[in-house]
Amino acid sequence: MAVVTGAGAGIGKACALAIAREGGRVVVADIDGSAAVACTAQIAAEAGHALALAMDIADAQAVAALFETAERHFGGVDLLVNNASAMHLTPRDRTILDLDLAVWDQTMATNLRGTLLCCRQAIPRMIARGGGAIVNMSSCQGLSGDTAQTSYAASKAAMNMLSASLATQYGHAQIRCNAVAPGLIMTERLLAKLDECMQRHLSRHQLLQRVGRPEDVAALVAFLLSDDAAFITGQVLCIDGGMLAHVPTYADGGNSRAARPAGDTAKAAAGPRC
């Protein structure tokens, strides 16, 4: 049985669907109760088994109630995907000197403390059942600097170490933990935020000729939760289309397969091109 947080939409929903399609029973948890219900309805339509719960992972009592309900309804907890994230705060998540400390505190409360709370509830239940697997949804922004989103990046970098610590401390109990770090994954929410110009600018840095899809991340998560990944733990796995795999000048300098016109490098240096 799996608990997936932030499963009402985007990557979390794709993960819940992927687990259900593999035969897993899923608790779909999301702060948006109607979105959680819609996800479980889709799972049920595909003959899967799921339970929707509306809750905020920053609330310790709500997290405890989530796992108590999951255990009561499905008999135990074997898998956990910590996907919930305070994405609504990212427009206000600015540079260090411009950052509202309330944004920092709220981001950490959800992204990092919320993940910790879920792990603390899941681990004893997994130990009682002989082991389990946890995937924490990190981000490539936790592995590289950016001109904004200071709180988000710091929370995801800390999540990477939290994952390594969990894997180290509870590997003897047959609990595996890995972090997945997505790059540019075109969820509906992100698509609504990015205009066509910015989409093109970001796509220039992809090594593959497309942006990522939530289903791409869900496939990796489903693998890491499965017995096929039984010897993988304590890792941070990037799924970013190669965005962090190349030198910073890649997009401006082009490559042997897609040479850029003369003068294009100077234009690129001036900023995003539409």
Which are the catalytic amino acids?
A: 152
Alpha helices, DSSP H, located in the chain: 10-21, 33-45, 60-74, 101-107, 114-128, 150-170, 188-193, 196-203, 214-225, 250-253, 264-269
Joined tokens for residue 22: 């593999």
CA dist 45 and 43 (Å) reads 5
Is the separation of the CB atoms in 240 and 181 below 8 Å?
A: yes
The set of residues, in sequence order, having a beta carbon less than 8 Å from that of 55 and lying 6+ positions away, is 29, 30, 31, 62, 63, 65, 66
CA dist 152 and 104 (Å) reads 8
